Copies of this chain bind each other. A is one copy, B any other.
Amino acid sequence: MKLVPVGVSARHIHLSQEHVEVLFGEGAQLTEMKPLSQPGQYAANEQVAVIGPKGTFPKVRILGPARKATQLEVSRTDAFALGVNPPVRESGNIEGTPGITLKGPAGEVTISEGVIVAARHIHFHTDDAERFGIADKQHLTVRLQGERGLVLENVIARVSPEFALDMHIDTDEANAAGAKTGDMAEIIG
């Protein structure tokens, strides 16, 4: 059995260093609250308000470290609440996606693109990928068991020596499946 642990991603944001400084002040740096499953990644102490045309989330967690481009990851449910219509995209692929307004203690910025619904994916360490016979970018089929048993198609494999084995799904997917972080899922195809 090819088993992978499930990690449920709530809405979160990645910021460029430029936007960290606009929102938190010149020279500001993100500070680590707790590490994430992927090595070097962390939930920051800092949060921002995300202001959409229809609704606002006053406190959205920032994940660090700072990235090249600012990217807000929301569920489809969140997107309805904000009043934006983001596509399902892989992280980093933000061309042509909707923008949004961000507000921090030191300032405000409106990004012209960067809002996505994250495509479900599995992080494989190179060794796990080899053991399971899985290639980077492969589309996988994964079963979550239980009362709300679901088989997820189009789960994207991402392979790197920097990754730890973990399947990332969003809160809509987790709730539809009755799944939570730490559950195990099975790759079935």
Contacts and interface: CB of A to CB of B under 8 A. Distances in A.
A176 B178 contact: no
Contacts of A38: none
A177 interface: yes
State the main secondary structure of chain A at its contact with B.
Answer: mixed
Identical copies of this chain, number? 2
A187 interface: no
Contact of A151 (B77, B88, B153, B178): B153
Contact of A175 (B75, B149, B154, B178): B75
Interface in A47-98: 75-77, 88
A151 B154 contact: no
Interface residues of A, number: 22
A173 B154 CA distance: 16
A34 interface: no
Contacts of A153: 149-151
Interface in A143-189: 147-154, 170-173, 175-178
